[in-house]
Amino acid sequence: MEALARWEHPEKGLVPPIDFIDHAEEYDFIDWLDEVICRRACKDMKELMDQTGKRFMLSVNISAVHIRKQDFADRIEAILYETGFPAEYLAIEITETS
């Protein structure tokens, strides 16, 4: 499964990531955005896995800007700890804009 983010704009409707990731990187809130999406996806998938008893791979796109940060691995590890999502089922992919 893949976590896909969409921005629900009040006037434009659902805006795809290709239209807002560049801005998130430029204005330096991409770390926050990546972490919110990853945390939510891990939490939701953990709940689904617990409910069904099945295991699913989860792919999350992360900006190369975020991956290059020194504390990136620690931040992902904290999300896995908080959500209880098993690390072996998480795939990190680099965003298309990178």
Instruction: Examine the pLDDT at 7 and tell me if it is beyond 90.
Output: no
* Residue 71 domain flag: yes
Nearest CA to 39 among 3, 93, 13? 3
* Residue 75 domain flag: yes
* Residue 72 domain flag: yes
* Residue 74 domain flag: yes
DSSP E strand boundaries for the chain = 2-3, 7-9, 13-15, 58-62, 90-94
Query: Can you give the pLDDT at residue 46?
Result: 97
63 touches 30 (CB < 8 A):
yes
For residue 36, the enclosing domain spans: 19-44+66-85
Higher per-residue confidence, 97 vs 60: 60
Write down the pTM of the prediction: 0.85
For the stretch 17-36, pLDDT in tens is 888 888 888 888 888 988 99
Nearest CA to 38 among 66, 64, 21, 61? 61
Number of domains in the chain: 1
* Residue 95 domain flag: no
* Residue 23 domain flag: yes
For the stretch 60-79, pLDDT in tens is 988 888 888 889 999 999 99
